[in-house]
Structure 1
Amino acid sequence: DGGTRHALDLRLTPSIVIGDLDSLTFNLQPLTDLGTKFIQHPRNKDETDLELALNHAIELGYREIIIVAALGGRLDQTLGNLSLLTDSRLSTFDIRLDDGVEQTFFCRARSEVEGRRGDLVSLIPWGGEVRGVRTEGLRWQLSDEVLLPHKTRGISNEMTGEVANIQIQSGLLLIVHRRLITNH
């Protein structure tokens, strides 16, 4: 439900708001009048609001999901949000966390990063080693490499063009794409 404020700040009307609604301290009637559906859960629950929303998206059959406003604030929430994306039910989904500057997602076999020359791309092994890592379109190419969770070898690579391709043979690889910010 916390994403509701972010949607409204962007002048977007949410179709569905899911959660305990604890972060919504304003009158919800205008949103209801615009067609927003509220699915309220108890405040004392075993899931975060994002987990409930992902479960609902799975039930509705969505395959492409972009989650905004889930990368900052509290470290425990951020790590929990990342961990949610490792759910095996999401293994064939295109699901990304995006705050406008950084985009974060998991690679299970092949992934593509779209950006600009100079954007940073970090490859972080998640939950164990990642084998057979191959990259194209990055300054420091990897070819059939092993990335270990206790090493930082995959941090802060740079895109050499508008597309970078990452491929792995085994493991789970967290990709963090930090967009180059320029002032015009």
Structure 2
Amino acid sequence: MKSNRILLFAGGSLGQWAIHHIKQEDWLVGVDRGSLFLVQHGFSPRLAIGDFDSVSPDEKAEIEQHSQSVSSCDPIMKDLTDTEMALTWALEQQPAEIVLVGALGSRFDHSLANVHLLQKALRADIPCKIVDENNEIRLIDSALTVERDHFSTLSLLPLSPEVTGITLHGFQYPLKNATLRIGDTLGISNVLKADTGTISLHSGQLLVIKSKD
């Protein structure tokens, strides 16, 4: 595993907030219209990937001019979303972490599919998270330590049918050896009371969602 992070900029909700997530040593990947966002903000993506059906011919030319590499595919004859193609490439690079930016937006089907993509990174044992202006989403299957930050709440939702043995320390609403099943809302809107908190579980896959209004 390498020491660098890879940031994937997809074509969902993006804004100036997204720029603040970029560190100098990060590898930047533009996904379809996310590529245009990067080049129009002065960045040269290491890779621009997708079918580019959400940009005009002039905008695609701008992407091609300012990207280090471009991987374009047919918008109809493909089996994967642009974001899954980009994540697959990123996982092959074996980075220290992958951050999905612009993976949430007005298309709920795409947003939910991108949350499900966290499973691919979990299986590859590469840390991965989705970030937008108000949320940070991770998927875990063992333990996680979280620190107090600018997010006001932390929610837990099962992505597998059942998650067992959930134990929380450092939270306003602790849990001990609890079980969450699809449809349960017990884990919504918890609050970190200590400087750090721990989340552990025995089995299943658990979404950990930090949020602020």
What TM-score does the superposition give when structure 2 sets the normalisation length?
0.75
Q: 8 Å contact 1:113–1:177 — kept in the other structure?
A: no
Q: Which runs of 5+ in 2 are unaligned?
A: 1-31
1:65 corresponds to: 98
SS in 2 for 1:86: helix
* CA offsets 1:35-92 (integer angstroms, 9 cap, x no match): 5211011111111001100111122222410000112211110111111111276441
Greater alpha carbon shift after TM alignment, 44-53 vs 86-95 = 86-95
2:48 corresponds to: 17
2:177 corresponds to: 144
Q: Distance in 2 between matches of 1:3 and 1:86?
A: 22
1:165 to 189, 198, 203: 198
2:166 to 114, 117, 133: 133
Pick closer, same or farther for the CA change 1:103–1:11 going to 2, 3 Å. farther
Q: 8 Å contact 1:117–1:159 — kept in the other structure?
A: no
Q: CA deviation at 1:21?
A: 1.4
Matches within 5 A, 1:1-184: 1-8=32-39, 10-25=41-56, 26-44=58-76, 45-87=78-120, 90-116=123-149, 119-179=152-212
Amino acid at match of 1:143: K
Amino acid at match of 2:107: R
Q: Distance in 2 between matches of 1:157 and 1:48?
A: 33
Q: 8 Å contact 2:153–2:190 — kept in the other structure?
A: yes
Q: Distance in 1 between matches of 2:37 and 2:144?
A: 28
Q: Distance in 2 between matches of 1:35 and 1:118?
A: 34
What TM-score does the superposition give when structure 1 sets the normalisation length?
0.86
Q: CA deviation at 1:137?
A: 2.4
Q: Which runs of 5+ in 1 are unaligned?
A: none
2:7 corresponds to: none
Aligned length: 180
Pick closer, same or farther for the CA change 1:24–1:124 going to 2, 3 Å. same
Q: 8 Å contact 1:64–1:93 — kept in the other structure?
A: yes
Q: Distance in 2 between matches of 1:89 and 1:137?
A: 25
Amino acid at match of 1:139: Q
Q: Distance in 2 between matches of 1:142 and 1:97?
A: 25
Q: Distance in 2 between matches of 1:106 and 1:171?
A: 10
Query: Among the aligned pairs, what percent are the same residue?
Result: 28
